[in-house]
Structures are given as C-alpha cells and as structure tokens.
A and B are shown apart, each in its own frame.
Chain A
Amino acid sequence: MLVNEKIAIEHGLKSDEYKKICKLLKRTPNITELGIFSAMWNEHCSYKSSRIHLKKLHTKGKKVIQGPGENAGVIDIEDGDALVFKIESHNHPSFIEPYQGAATGVGGIMRDVFTMGARPIANLNSIHFGSTQHKKTKNLLRGVVHGIGGYGNCMGVPTIAGQTSFDRSYNGNILVNAMTLGLVKKDKIFYSKAAGLNKPVIYVGSKTGRDGIHGASMASASFDEKIEEKKPTVQVGDPFTEKLLLEACLELMSGDSIIAIQDMGAAGLTSSSIEMASKGNLGIEINLNKVPCRESKMTPYEIMLSESQERMLIVLENGKEEIAKKIFDKWNLDFAVIGKTTNTKNIELFFDNKQVANIPVNTLVENSPMYDRKWKKSKLPKKNKINKTIFKSLKIKDTLKKILSSPNVCSKEWIWQQYDHTVMGDTIQKPGGDSGVVRVHKTDKAIAATVDSSATYCWAHPPTGGKQVVCETWRNLISVGAKPIAVTNCLNFGSPEKEENMGEFVECVQGISEACKYLDYPVVSGNVSFYNETKDIGIKPTPTIGGVGLIKDYKKMITMNFKEIDNIVLVIGKTEGHIDQSLLSRIILNENNGPPPEVNLFNEKNNGLTLLNLIEKNFIKSAHDVSLGGIITAISKMCIKGNKGVQIKKPKFLINEIEYFFAEDQGRYLIEINPNDLKEVSKILDKNSVHYDEIGKIIDKEMIIDQKTKLTIDELKSYNTNWLKRYMV
C-alpha cells in the first residue's frame, strides 16, 4: 500500500507530523514504517503534550534508586531490599470492554514490575465511574471489578487497597488505574537498556495475535458514538500465561544471562524493541518470520502493532540461548531468537527475506514531537456565602446518615471481597483501612501503600487539588504508622488540545510537584492519560497518586478501629470549618462552587511527622485521617471498625456544630490514646506546635453527641455497609 497524508491522518498523525516523518526519513515511509511512527508518536507512547511539564516534577531523593523513565520506579527500603512500583491507566479500553480492559490493565502493570526483576507483592487500583443513575455505571463497575479480580487473583498477588468514586463527569469515560508493588534485591534490578553488539534478541511468552492493534492510538483520542467499533483494539488477557511468564522470567533472572529486558505493553514489539535500542544507543535487527504468531498470514504491520499480552523482549548474553530456552520450555512458553543488536542505530525489520522497514531509532524517540501546548491559568474561586441559618435546619443524625451511605463514602466491601487480598500470606492490613500493608516476606519490615485522588478539589482549583492529593496519600500512610517514601502518579485528564484541560494538567502537576518537594516524597514513576473525553465532554481532572511508605517494625502498625473503652480521642490539626467543595456542600446543600480546602504544607509535614514520633513511642492506639465528610465521618468509621462507641464533647469554637463536624479542612487526623498518656502526648504536640482538640472518649456501642443525638454502632454500620451491596443487586 502506498502511503500518503490521508493514510497518515487515519493513523492519528497530524498533517505536520507526517511531513516531519518524510523529512526525517528523507523519503515517504512504507505502511509498516508509518504504523511504527504512529505507534511511537501517539500521545500515549510519546508523552508529546506532557513531557515538557513532567520534567518539572520532583523526582529526586535519597531513597530513589530509579526515577521516571524505566518500566517502573525503584526505591531503597534498606537491608539490601528495593521496592519497585508504578501506577498505570487503562481507561479507554475499560470503557469499551470493562472486563478485558481492566484485566489487561492489571496484567500490564504487573509486567512492568517483574520486568525489573521484582516479584509483585501487592496490587492496588483506583477506579472511577459515572453517576450511579447512569445506565452504564452498574455494568461497567461489575465488569471492571471482575476483570481486576480475574487477573490479580489468578496471578496470586494480593489486591490490598484501592479507591472507587462516582461522578457524572465519568459518564462517558471511566477511569481504571492499576498499581503494583514488587520486591527485589538492590543488586538484582533489571533495566531495559540494551548493550553490546550482535547480542541475541529473544521473544518469550504468548504468541502474537491480531488483538489490540492500534490500542495505544485508540487511547490517544477521544470517544464518539462509534466507540463500539473500537472493541478489536482492546487486548485480551491471559493471567495464567502471565503467571508462567512471571515464574520463568524470575527463574532466568536468578542467573546472569540477561543484558536487558522490556515487556511488550502499549505498541507491543514496536515500542519494546525501539526502547531497548534507544536506551543502549544501538540498532536492532528483527526477522519477523521468527516471531511466534497465533494466527496465520500476519503481516509485518500487524506483527509490529499487535498488543497481544504476556510477551517480553530480552537481550541475552551470547551463548545463553540454551539456558534460557530450557527455562521457557519448562514453563511451556514460546521462546524464539528473533534478531540481534547492531551498530546501525536503526531498527531494521525483515520479512520473507526482504527488508520491510529501516528507520533510525532516534527519529522515533528523540525526534518525536514535543508540544508546548497553550494552557489557561485557573482562578481561585470565590468563597461561597453560605447562609448560616441553613445549618440550623440540618440534623446531625440525618446528615451523617446521608453522608455515610453516599456512594463515595460507603463501604466498598462488595468490591474488595472479590479480590484475593490475603494470598502470599503477608497482608497485615486489608482493604478498608487507610492504607494496605504487606510484610516484606520473612522480615520485620512492612510496606504500606495507598492510592488516592480528589477530582472535585482538582476541578475547583487545580494547583490546590494537585497538592491535596499528594497530602492525602501522605496522611493515609502516616495513619498506619508508615514513613512515607515516594509516589507514583497517574495523570488522567481531558484533551490536551483544549486550553482549559491543558491548564488543569499543568497546574495539577505544579501542585503535585510542590507538595512532593516539600514533603521529600518524590515521584518515581507514572503515566499520563489524556483524551478522557466523549463528544467533547471531558472528565474532571483526576490525577491519581499512589503513595508508598515503610514500617520498620510491622508490630507497630496502626489500624483505625477503636481499641479500648475510656481511651481519649484527639483531633490533630486545626478545624476551621471549610465547607466549600466538601461532601456536605455537594450532596446536602447542592452547592458545587467555591474553592477547595487550603493545603498548608508546613502543617501537613509537621503534623504527620509528629504523629510518627508518637507512634514510635507507642502512644497511639488507633488513628485515621480526616478526609471526605469531615471529623464525624472519620470517627464513625473508627466506631464501625472497632465496634465501639464514642461520647463526643460539644465543640467550644466559634464555628457552628455542622461546620465543625463536616468541614474538610486539611492536615487532620483522629487519634486514640490512653488517658494516662494525655499529659505526655500533649507535651509532645505542644512542643512541635501541633494544634489538637480533645473531642471525646470511647464508650460501649453508641455514638453520643448530645442527649438528643445518639446513634448505635449497628445504625452506623447499616448506613455505611449496605448501599453498594443493594445498588449492585
């Protein structure tokens, strides 16, 4: 087929991008070459709209072994151990085909982690759906949850935490972000940089089929009414083969055969081979007849663009082919030597003894387009003038009931009970807590991990929202007694070609970077997902942050359930009564305007580190961060989990009761301490200038606010646990 501008545009390239290709090649590309360019230059693979801004992220730190740019980030967790982790989006495919879309999202991120030599030890996910009234929501939720479980459960990796939200803005574009943590010895990390000439390039794993062709291009465009036609671009997952691939790769990695390894994810064989060559500043030669194919008569174009799952590309040391083949044979996986490294710095493809593509690697990578797109600066919205008399008409009990049973606050047990969260025998904090916690096998250490996003805050004011999400994950880690170390981010936005969406992206990234820098909590990996829009309507900006922390002695881990009657409950951090953008404002007052709560990074850091100090001294019996729904929602969850009640003191502040209980001011936690420790704890808090209020004490099975407002724990439980189960019936 002869290539022209029209065909290039059908491949998702822009007219000037096509011209650039012709200029770089000094000729017209053939169809295979055009396919390769379109795969490498799309937004998903090239980060052409985001690269310039991602450079500003805070990515350095003492604990960082590998920052962004590899298959996943790596941090030092002491004693020669390293933690490999990353989050990635699979939004577009999951909307088209929820089961396979979500399943292959989980499969892809696990591959990114074990490609680096790490055994996956935990999965997390952040999933966002449209309004609960929308006709697609239920089926999408069911499909996505089945898909995540179907893949992760079969792999035998526990899913230890996650986040689920519902918002109208996801009606036409759901979000599925999957995160994996893996464990590796510091001196056994594998990278994707090829090295050495004439080294065998081997292909292992599943056979190549016609599934997922143009998957990455599909994920680089918006949706319209013809979306059903895109189903063939969704890959089909085979977790069983991935489990075999995992074991086979780790077995091969225990020796010294591998020079470089790269999984075939987005844009399959194309991006994996080019990435390895580019990093090694080498050329690569592939004989496409050697690629194991599932279907007959596949063309070079199809082989190069297939996104069939569960495949890896490896550059081996010379003479190690037999050793490697034996291992992959044992695990019943395909193994083929398909090419070699060369000094041409070109990617050269052969098929039926003919050269079918010859492209300089740097034209695909370094010379790929990079745009400094126009973006619009946001303004901090004016504070809402809420008529305070309205608070008088609200009853705490009714309001709390509505909030506890609202889709975004209610218990997500229906979801996480479908995920195996206990396999591998090291899960010491299950889903439903502030963070999931897994022990580092056979040691006293544990890793805490959490994933969060706050689209509403980001939508109201992107820079504040960006900061807030980072802080929220920081608090989630502190609440279980973990020292936060680093984050991974998944940046889900609308079209970068729209100034407003681009502005949201730029400013959220600024906020994230500022918070990460201040908290010494660097970004080590991540991905960007643009074009989350359908028929011109984009999602609310949703940067998702996955935070990771270390607990040196897992016996010191903290949980949120109230422990003992007569213990005292303190609120750490100051309550100012910020109601705008709170759940109260949105679902009770039906008010969507106003600024998000302010984020004070000094207080975040100071409050968090002081709490860690108190935990280290064994003063804290239970802890929970205050987020959506404010103090009263947080305290309700501690009651529910601990099956204990609380006698709440009247607030002695100028703000009214409703504001005090439901405000979403940042930097706050609830902690339980023994009354005998109060003096000592107060001393430490005062010394560190941490604001705190004594809010009440733990009693048996009832939440008592005043003589009129009493709730039993069973009532609280029923509000919180039933909504989702009933919705999904």
Chain B
Amino acid sequence: MKSSVITFPGSNCDRDMDVALTKFGFKNKMVWHNDQELPKSDLIVLPGGFSYGDYLRCGSMASKSKIMNSVINFAKSGGLVMGICNGFQILVESGLVPGVLLRNKYLQFICKNVHVKVDNKENTFFKNLDKKILEFHIAHNEGNYFCTNDQLKEIEDNNQIAIYYCDQNGNTNDQINPNGSIKNIAGIFNKEKNVLGMMPHPERMIDESLSGEDGSIFFKNLLNNIK
C-alpha cells in the first residue's frame, strides 16, 4: 500500500509519521508542500507540527499551499486522507472536515496520554478494530473542537464523530475532556468518511518503549482495511 506524507514549512511530526507508516508496511513518500502533483497513493497524511509557525489561525496558511489543491481533489474523488493534530487543523481550514479548533480551554499546551472511544466503525479507518477504547497521546495548544449547533446536528446525524475523549472505561464527561472540545470530540470525519481529522498522535504510540502501543493497533488495522 502506498502512502504520502506532506511536509509543510513548520511540520515537525512528518518524520515520525513516515517511521510509523513504514513500520507497518506502507510504502511511504514524503511530499513537499510546494509540489503540484501527488504521487500515486492509497493514503495521504497531513502530519502534526506548527505549519507557518501557527502565527495566523493554525493551519490556515498551509491550507492554501499548492499541494492542497491536489489533496482536496484526491479527497473529493474518494481518496483516504488523514490529518493529525496540525494536519487536522489544516483539514478544518481547507473545509475538508467541518468545524474549527480553538485554543485549549486552560490556555496551555498539553502533552499527555489520553483515552479515546471509537464509536463509528463503518469506515476504512476504524473498521474491524477489536478495541473500542484506545490509549492515544496528545500534544497541542489548539485542540478545542468547536462548531455551530446546526453543524453539530449535521455531524451527529451523519455519524461523523470519529473519536471522543473518554476515561479508561469509556465514559465521556467534562472531567476527562483535556481541552474543552464540544462533546469531547477528539476527531471527526467528512460526510463520506474518507477524510479523518484527529488531534491525538497514533504515530507516537508504536512500540512498547514509548507511551503505549495502541497506535500500532490503529495502523495495522488501517493497513488491513486498505488492502
């Protein structure tokens, strides 16, 4: 399976994502933001980082990169696109997924392990996943997901919420919400569920010496689903 990771100026999880994808069997290519064309890919990943320093709204500058036209076309024709952290912010800014990401509720960067609940398995990303609750890792300053009431209704009606922040037993309440996201949303899909944006970093959870191994479960499952 072929994947491509886009490097924007200021991306800093591009290498980590490359390592993870390669480890689980993807043939991965790194793509420069100023390129026009995407290599032939089964999966496009927008990695984490601080594209353009996040000096404007996070992700807004990167969403106007040359390569993003191709990414948008790829997504619209049904291709799989995944945005992690800053990549999620870029997806939101480019309109591929609904909503916005605000500054964390406590106005602090936060780096820690969290649990997320996977509700919707009728999509290529989470189909056949054995576990319902995964331990992931977050590291962000602007992960506070927000949308209008109308948007929220639409998102819920279309089953677009991918993962929720929860405790280890799967309870989603305010106390375990790390950043103030509406409905504890940690990741969402587009309507067609071929585009996933999420704040947690599965690529930081890919072997037992790191923060955990649930990232491995996620990537292995993803690869099998694409095959």
Please say whether chains A and B are actual partners in one complex.
Answer: yes
List residues of A whose CB falls within 8 A of some B CB. Answer: 146, 149-150, 153-156, 238-241, 243-244, 331-332, 416-425, 427-428, 430, 439, 554-555
Asked if B158 lies at the interface with its beta carbon under 8 angstroms from chain A, I say no
Q: Are A239 and B111 in contact (CB under 8 A)?
A: no
Q: List 19 A-B contacts (CB under 8 A).
A: A146-B108, A153-B139, A156-B49, A238-B53, A239-B50, A244-B9, A244-B10, A417-B110, A417-B111, A418-B110, A420-B111, A422-B139, A423-B48, A424-B15, A425-B15, A425-B16, A425-B19, A428-B209, A428-B210
- A420 CA to B16 CA in the complex, in Å? 14
- A446 CA to B91 CA in the complex, in Å? 36
Could you give, for residues 193-221 of chain B, a 1 whenever the CB lies within 8 Å of some chain A CB and a 0 otherwise? Answer: 00000000101101001110000000000
19 A-B pairs besides A332-B9, A417-B112 with CB distance below 8 A are A146-B108, A154-B54, A156-B13, A156-B49, A238-B53, A239-B50, A240-B9, A240-B10, A240-B54, A244-B10, A331-B9, A418-B108, A418-B110, A419-B109, A422-B137, A422-B201, A422-B204, A424-B15, A425-B203
Asked if B124 lies at the interface with its beta carbon under 8 angstroms from chain A, I say no
User: Given that A422-B137, A425-B203 are known contacts, is A149 also in contact with B109, CB under 8 Å in the complex?
Assistant: yes
Please give the distance in Å from A128's CB to the nearest CB on chain B. Answer: 21
Q: Which of B105-124 contact A (CB under 8 A)?
A: 108-112
- A317 CA to B139 CA in the complex, in Å? 42
Nearest-CB residue, chain B, relative to A247: B9
Q: Which of B1-45 contact A (CB under 8 A)?
A: 9-10, 12-13, 15-16, 19-20
Query: Which residues of chain A come closer than 8 Å to B9, judged between CB atoms?
Result: 240, 243-244, 331-332
Asked if B52 lies at the interface with its beta carbon under 8 angstroms from chain A, I say yes
Please give the distance in Å from B217's CB to the nearest CB on chain A. Answer: 16
- A65 CA to B50 CA in the complex, in Å? 34
- A665 CA to B169 CA in the complex, in Å? 45
Number of interface residues of B (CB under 8 A): 30
Nearest-CB residue, chain A, relative to B48: A423
Nearest-CB residue, chain A, relative to B9: A244
Query: Which residues of chain B come closer than 8 Å to A418, judged between CB atoms?
Result: 108-111
Q: Are B50 and A243 in contact (CB under 8 A)?
A: yes
User: Given that A156-B13, A240-B52, A420-B139 are known contacts, is A427 also in contact with B111, CB under 8 Å in the complex?
Assistant: no
Query: Which residues of chain B come closer than 8 Å to A241, judged between CB atoms?
Result: 53
- A238 CA to B54 CA in the complex, in Å? 11
Query: Which residues of chain B come closer than 8 Å to A244, judged between CB atoms?
Result: 9-10
Q: Are B110 and A156 in contact (CB under 8 A)?
A: no
User: Given that A240-B50, A422-B137 are known contacts, is A155 also in contact with B111, CB under 8 Å in the complex?
Assistant: no
List residues of B whose CB falls within 8 A of some A CB. Answer: 9-10, 12-13, 15-16, 19-20, 48-50, 52-55, 108-112, 137, 139, 141, 201, 203-204, 206, 209-211
Q: Are A425 and B139 in contact (CB under 8 A)?
A: no
Query: Which residues of chain B come closer than 8 Å to A555, judged between CB atoms?
Result: 209
Query: Which residues of chain A come closer than 8 Å to B15, judged between CB atoms?
Result: 424-425
- A515 CA to B153 CA in the complex, in Å? 67
Nearest-CB residue, chain B, relative to A728: B108
Query: Which residues of chain A come closer than 8 Å to B110, judged between CB atoms?
Result: 417-418
Query: Which residues of chain A come closer than 8 Å to B48, judged between CB atoms?
Result: 423
Query: Which residues of chain B come closer than 8 Å to A439, judged between CB atoms?
Result: 209
User: Given that A423-B16, A425-B203, A439-B209 are known contacts, is A243 also in contact with B111, CB under 8 Å in the complex?
Assistant: no
Nearest-CB residue, chain B, relative to A331: B9
Query: Which residues of chain B come closer than 8 Å to A423, judged between CB atoms?
Result: 12-13, 16, 48, 139, 204
Nearest-CB residue, chain A, relative to B49: A156
Query: Which residues of chain A come closer than 8 Å to B16, judged between CB atoms?
Result: 423-425
Query: Which residues of chain A come closer than 8 Å to B112, judged between CB atoms?
Result: 417
Please give the distance in Å from B67's CB to the nearest CB on chain A. Answer: 14
Query: Which residues of chain B come closer than 8 Å to A153, judged between CB atoms?
Result: 50, 109, 139, 141
**3 A-B pairs with least C-beta separation:** A156-B12, A240-B53, A154-B50
Most chain B beta carbons < 10 A, residue from A149, A156, A430, A439: A156
User: Given that A240-B50, A243-B10, A418-B109 are known contacts, is A425 also in contact with B209, CB under 8 Å in the complex?
Assistant: no
- A577 CA to B204 CA in the complex, in Å? 45
Please give the distance in Å from A120's CB to the nearest CB on chain B. Answer: 11
Please give the distance in Å from A251's CB to the nearest CB on chain B. Answer: 12
Query: Which residues of chain A come closer than 8 Å to B13, judged between CB atoms?
Result: 156, 423
Please give the distance in Å from B61's CB to the nearest CB on chain A. Answer: 10
- A253 CA to B201 CA in the complex, in Å? 31
- A421 CA to B139 CA in the complex, in Å? 9
- A421 CA to B109 CA in the complex, in Å? 11
- A87 CA to B22 CA in the complex, in Å? 35
- A555 CA to B12 CA in the complex, in Å? 26
- A374 CA to B29 CA in the complex, in Å? 63
Nearest-CB residue, chain A, relative to B32: A330
- A238 CA to B109 CA in the complex, in Å? 17
Query: Which residues of chain B come closer than 8 Å to A238, judged between CB atoms?
Result: 53
Nearest-CB residue, chain B, relative to A156: B12
From A154, A240, A420, A554, B209 is in contact (CB under 8 Å) with: A554
- A430 CA to B53 CA in the complex, in Å? 25
Please give the distance in Å from A118's CB to the nearest CB on chain B. Answer: 16
Please give the distance in Å from B60's CB to the nearest CB on chain A. Answer: 14
Q: Are A240 and B55 in contact (CB under 8 A)?
A: yes
- A416 CA to B112 CA in the complex, in Å? 10
Query: Which residues of chain A come closer than 8 Å to B139, judged between CB atoms?
Result: 153, 420, 422-423
Query: Which residues of chain B come closer than 8 Å to A243, judged between CB atoms?
Result: 9-10, 12, 50, 53
Query: Which residues of chain A come closer than 8 Å to B137, judged between CB atoms?
Result: 422
From B10, B109, B210, A420 is in contact (CB under 8 Å) with: B109
Q: Are A422 and B111 in contact (CB under 8 A)?
A: yes
Please give the distance in Å from B84's CB to the nearest CB on chain A. Answer: 12
Query: Which residues of chain A come closer than 8 Å to B54, judged between CB atoms?
Result: 154, 240
Q: Are A425 and B10 in contact (CB under 8 A)?
A: no
From B19, B53, B201, A239 is in contact (CB under 8 Å) with: B53
Query: Which residues of chain B come closer than 8 Å to A421, judged between CB atoms?
Result: 111
Please give the distance in Å from A124's CB to the nearest CB on chain B. Answer: 15
User: Given that A154-B10, A154-B50, A239-B50 are known contacts, is A425 also in contact with B111, CB under 8 Å in the complex?
Assistant: no
Q: Are A155 and B12 in contact (CB under 8 A)?
A: yes
